[in-house]
Amino acid sequence: MPVKVLSNRDFAYWTVTVERPLQLRFECTSETISAVAEHKTLGKIDGLREALESFGDAVYLNREKFNKDIGIHLRDHGVSLTAAQRKTLWQTIGVHDETADYCRTTSGKNKGEIEPDPALRDTENVPFGWGGYPKTHEALEETVQAYFDAEVKPHVDDAWVDWDKTKTGYEIPFTRHFYTYEPPRPIGEIDADLERVVGEIMVLLREVES
C-alpha cells in the first residue's frame, strides 16, 4: 500500500477577510420613513417623522452631505438626536448603491479612510504554499496578496484585505491529498449496460402483464 508523508503545514491555511466599501443612497421615501417610525428607538422621537418628510424627493449619494442636511431639518423641527441615534438613523434609511460615494470615517486616527460594508464582507481560505510560495508563516503577506490579486481582484476591483482579521487554521483536505482520479468508462460500455438493464426491465414488465 502506498504511503504519503505530509507535514503539519501541508494542512495549514490562512482565513482572510475581504472587505468592500460602504456605499449608500439616502432617500426619505414613504417606505424608509415608515421603517424609522416603526424602529423601537427612533419611532419614539417626537417630530422625527415630520423632519424626514420635509426632505421631499431629495436623493443623496453622499453620506456626509445627507448628515449635514439632516442636521438642518432636525433643527428646523426642534428635534435633537444623540450621535448614536444619528448613526441608527442613517443606517435605517441608507440602502446599498454602487453609484454612491464611498463612506469614509470622519474622526479618529483612521479619519478619511473608506469604511467597509459588513453586508458585503467575505472570507477566503488561502492554503500555505498556494501558487508555489513557501509553506511558512513568514510567507503570509506575499502568498495572500498574490492569491487576492489573482482570485479576488479581477471580480471585485474595489475590494481589499483586512490584514488584522487574518487567522491561521488547519484542515485535512482528503480530496486534494488522497483522491486518485479514475476516468469514466467508455461511452460504449455505458450504453451497453443501459440497454441490458432496459431489456431486463421489459422482461419483468411482460411477466407482470401476463
Judge whether 51 lies within some domain. Answer: yes
Task: Check if the beta carbon of residue 126 is closer than 8 Å to that of residue 161.
Answer: no
Number of domains in the chain: 2
Both 30 and 90 in one domain: the answer is yes
Task: Please indicate, yes or no, if residue 161 is contained in any of the structural domains.
Answer: yes
Considering the domain boundaries, does residue 198 fall inside one?
no
**Tens of pLDDT, residues 8-42:** 888 899 999 999 999 999 999 999 999 999 999 99
Same domain, 16 and 29: no
Residues 39 and 82 grouped into a single domain: yes
pLDDT tens for 137-182 read 999 999 999 999 999 999 999 999 999 999 999 988 777 667 777 8
- Give φ, ψ of 21 to 5 degrees: -70, 150
Q: Are residues 144 and 165 in the same domain?
A: yes
Specify the pLDDT at position 139.
96
Beta-strand runs (E) in 57-131: 59-60, 95-96, 122-127
Mean of pLDDT values over 115-142: 96
Q: Are 27 and 60 in contact (CB under 8 A)?
A: yes
Residue 34 counted as domain residue: yes
Contacts of 178 (CB under 8 A, 6+ apart): 4
Tens of pLDDT along 51-104? 999 999 999 999 999 999 999 999 999 999 999 999 999 999 999 999 999 999
CB 63 within 8 A of CB 94: yes
Assigned domain for 114 exists: no
Does 57 map to a domain?
Answer: yes
For residues 78 and 127, membership in a common domain is answered with no
Whether residue 76 is found in the same domain as residue 56: yes
Q: Are residues 83 and 30 in the same domain?
A: yes
Whether 3 has a pLDDT exceeding 80, the answer reads no
Domain that holds residue 43: 24-96
Which residues lie closer than 8 Å to 40 by C-beta, 6 or more apart? none
**How are beta strands 24-27 and 95-96 bridged, if at all?**
antiparallel
- Look at residue 184 and tell me whether its pLDDT is greater than 80: yes
The DSSP call for residue 11 is G
Looking at the predicted structure, is the pLDDT value of residue 2 above 70?
no
Do residue 91 and residue 123 come from a single domain?
Answer: no
In contact, 19 and 160? CB cutoff 8 Å: yes
pLDDT value at residue 154: 96
* 210 belongs to a structural domain: no
Q: Is position 113 within any domain?
A: no
Per-residue pLDDT at 1 exceeds 60:
no
> Are the C-beta atoms of 52 and 37 separated by less than 8 Å?
no
Q: How far apart are CA 87 and CA 89, in angstroms?
A: 5
pLDDT of residue 138: 96
d(CA 25, CA 57): 13
Is the model more confident about 29 or about 107?
A: 29
Residue pair 128/143 in contact (Cβ under 8 Å)? The answer is yes
The neighbouring-strand residues paired with 17 are: 123
- Our CA angle for 95, 99, 16, nearest 5°, is 75
- List, for residues 33-63, the tens digit of each pLDDT value: 999 999 999 999 999 999 999 999 999 999 9
Same domain flag for 72 and 136: no
